[in-house]
Amino acid sequence: MKCTINEVHKYVNEEVTIGAWIANKRSSGKIAFLQLRDGTGFIQGVVVKAEVDEELFTLAKKVTQETSVWVKGIVQVDERSPFGYELLVTGLEVIAEAVDYPITPKQHGTEFLMDHRHLWLRSKRQHAVMKIRNEIIRATYEFFNQEGFVKVDPPILTGSAPEGTSELFATKYFDEDAYLSQSGQLYMEAAAMALGKVFSFGPTFRAEKSKTRRHLIEFWMIEPEMAFVEFEENLEVQEQYVSYIVQSVLKNCEIELKTLGRDTSKLENIKAPFPRISYDDAIKFLHEKGFDDIQWGDDFGAPHETAIAESFDKPVFITHYPTGIKPFYMQPAPDRDDVVLCADLIAPEGYGEIIGGSERIHDMELLKQRLDEHNLSMDAYQWYYELRQYGSVPHSGFGLGLERTVAWISGVEHVRETIPFPRLLNRLYP
């Protein structure tokens, strides 16, 4: 019976044929152990000299790492294996030999691995991270579908720049200037006025000259937007959503979390509600902690976010940031206009901001004033402004950065391991 590695549980004590690669190998005079992988999982193949013909044993001893094979064997339950099964090999046929595979089981430097990202993806660790990424995406669609959101796809080529004009990737759109999308938000606001509750999932681009463990040039964002929803309700959706994806990964990626050595006790209590702290109080807290470098009106850097996050065991919302350090579209607080109705969600364990969100301005006059203050031309934003002209309603939304979320849940230090082919400062290949 032909099957994949994640299907072997159906064929205990039966003979199966699997298309696989040799991930690793060790052998003695009497026995050879083949670590097999086929993309769906990993299984150990055991070749016992006394039980197979000589040709098979010789081949098992000399087959090289990453050679592709058809392997035949009897599925056996194996309590010691993290996957629960092993294969007593009865046949081995080489499909294509791999000669001098560059990524050996020994340690390699990061630059070397990044240069070989197209191959590095095959490793057990990268496999685990990609499976967790996939689970977060799957759970995202499930959550928003259950909650009655409609998936809407905003454009990638755009004429406007919601998150500031300094980090744009400019390109030509025939004779016009265009930009790669930094965020689908403005389009999602239009979609929310048509469909009520909407979400998007797509790539976004920021020409940020930041070389940190949290920054990618191209990253994927989930951006929900909701009509008739104000600031506090927006936070409730965020904490429900983040809890849902963490609990889904715990439930469905047990093997992957184990492969990564993730301390899952830190994830188990990630359940709504999450704590909230105002920007004002966060500044006071930082001063008490001895951060003399920061003053009211400054944006937080990574060390500030980490210090705040460290005093909570769940993600924490920092709310009501100063108007001056946030984008033009945020609704001012009702009682004071020096802060806006926004929140960043900071992940625990030093992973930093995973969500930015806010209530949006729905008043025409105020929006016009803000566009002027930010030197944004009415020509480019006419359509966005018009949303306020025809039955404007309070509305809110947020954007969750997928890669930072994958990094946090997987316990992986750097976002470069959380996306198949990371675009980083000075890295466009592979």
Q: How far apart are CA 262 and CA 277, in angstroms?
A: 28
Using CB under 5 A, which residues numbered 334 to 363 contact Mg ion?
Answer: 356
Q: What is the sign of the dihedral through the CA atoms of 262, 265, 268 and 272?
A: negative
Q: Tell whether residue 152 is a contact of ligand 4AD (CB under 6 A).
A: no
Rg (Cα) of the chain, in Å, rounded?
26
Residue from 41, 154, 162, 411 that binds ligand 4AD (CB under 6 A)?
162
Region near ligand 4AD per CB under 6 A, out of 71-79, 100-108, 244-252, 355-363: 355-363
Q: Tell whether residue 316 is a contact of ligand 4AD (CB under 6 A).
A: no
| Choice between 85 and 219, CB closer to ligand 4AD | 219
For the window 185-214, what string marks contact with ligand 4AD as x by the rule CB under 6 A?
A: x--------------------x-x------
- Residue whose token pair is 């976002």: 415
Q: Tell whether residue 399 is a contact of Mg ion (CB under 5 A).
A: no
Residue from 132, 221, 277, 340 that binds ligand 4AD (CB under 6 A)?
221
* CB-based closest residue to Mg ion: 356
Helix, strand, or coil here: 66? coil
264: amino acid identity, one letter: T
Using CB under 5 A, which residues numbered 108 to 167 contact Mg ion?
Answer: none
Q: How far apart are CA 286 and CA 225, in angstroms?
A: 32
Q: Tell whether residue 422 is a contact of ligand 4AD (CB under 6 A).
A: no
Residue from 42, 179, 398, 408 that binds ligand 4AD (CB under 6 A)?
398
Name every residue whose Cβ is closer than 8 Å to that of residue 324 and which is 6 or more positions away in sequence.
297
Give the neighbor-by-neighbor strand order of the sheet with 218-227.
150-151, 197-205, 218-227, 395-401, 352-359, 342-347, 316-319, 276-278
**Other C-beta atoms lying within 10 Å of the C-beta of residue 317:** 21
For 330, phi and psi rounded to 5 degrees? -85, 140
Residue 397 Cβ vs ligand 4AD, minimum distance, rounded to whole Å: 5
Binding site for Mg ion (CB under 5 A): 356
Which residues of the chain form contacts with ligand 4AD (CB under 6 A)?
A: 162-163, 183, 185, 206, 208, 215-216, 219, 221, 223, 353-357, 397-399, 401, 403-404, 415
